[in-house]
Amino acid sequence: MLWRVLLSAPLAVVAAVPGTPAAETPTQSERDPSREISGGAEMATETEDDGTAAQQGHGQPGGRDDDGASALVGVPPPLALSVYEPMYFIVGGDEGFNAKFQISLRFRMFDDQGPLAQRLPWIDDLYLSYSQTSLWDLNELSSPFRDTSYRPRLFYSHDDLLRFDGGRVRLGLEAGFGHESNGRDGAESRSTNMLYV
């Protein structure tokens, strides 16, 4: 018997502007293909009564929403703390009752609107991450952890380095320094340092 819980869904933040009506947030499959993200602001193309297209900037300074009110909040920046590798908890086993679980978070070190990121635009793609994978023996009376791996990393990650085929195919880059250890010393120590791309 095997149960698995996977918690790798991206986190989302929805901001409401005081004085404007609340709008439902469409899912990825319901989004209008005429909308695109450009320069940190959402652009919508709408057709006027005479058949001409009118663009409205949502979230841009001076842009207007559908109800004519000025937009105060643009597209939010990426969250500073987010899921890095898949997070899961698995229970089961052939000989006894065991569990394996992993937690993994990443932290964006610099805000893209901060003064340092304004001078050095690439710096807002620097991250610290921490991942931990543990094997837990639930069959024993004391329920000991049989093995745990700790994996801190410092890395650069840019998800949208190049676009191909009209933006449908993207090429990203992740490069950095990682360390993996079981946290023990002496003969039971296991440790690896790596540079990766």
For 166-192, what is the mean pLDDT? 91
Q: Catalytic one among 82, 149, 157, 181?
A: 181
21 has pLDDT over 70: no
Higher pLDDT, 32 or 127: 127
Tell how strand 145-164 and strand 169-181 pair up: antiparallel
When pLDDT is cut at 50, 70 and 90, the band that residue 16 belongs to is very low
Alpha-carbon distance of 183 to 128, in angstroms, equals 19
The pLDDT tens digits for 106-161 are: 999 988 788 888 888 888 899 999 999 999 988 888 888 889 999 999 999 988 88
> Which residues lie across from 12 on neighbouring strands?
none
Tell how strand 169-181 and strand 2-6 pair up: unpaired
4 has pLDDT over 80: no
* 181 flagged as catalytic: yes
23 has pLDDT over 90: no
- First-to-final CA distance of the chain: 38
* 191 flagged as catalytic: no
Alpha-carbon distance of 32 to 164, in angstroms, equals 21
> What are the domain boundaries of the chain?
36-75, 77-196
When pLDDT is cut at 50, 70 and 90, the band that residue 76 belongs to is low
For 130, how many CA atoms within 13 A lie in the half-sphere containing its CB? Answer: 2
Q: Catalytic one among 70, 179, 189, 191?
A: 179
Specify the CATH number for 77-196; select among 2.40.230.10, 3.30.1370.140, 3.40.50.720, 1.10.630.10.
Answer: 2.40.230.10
Q: Give me the residue label for tokens 């908890």.
A: 89
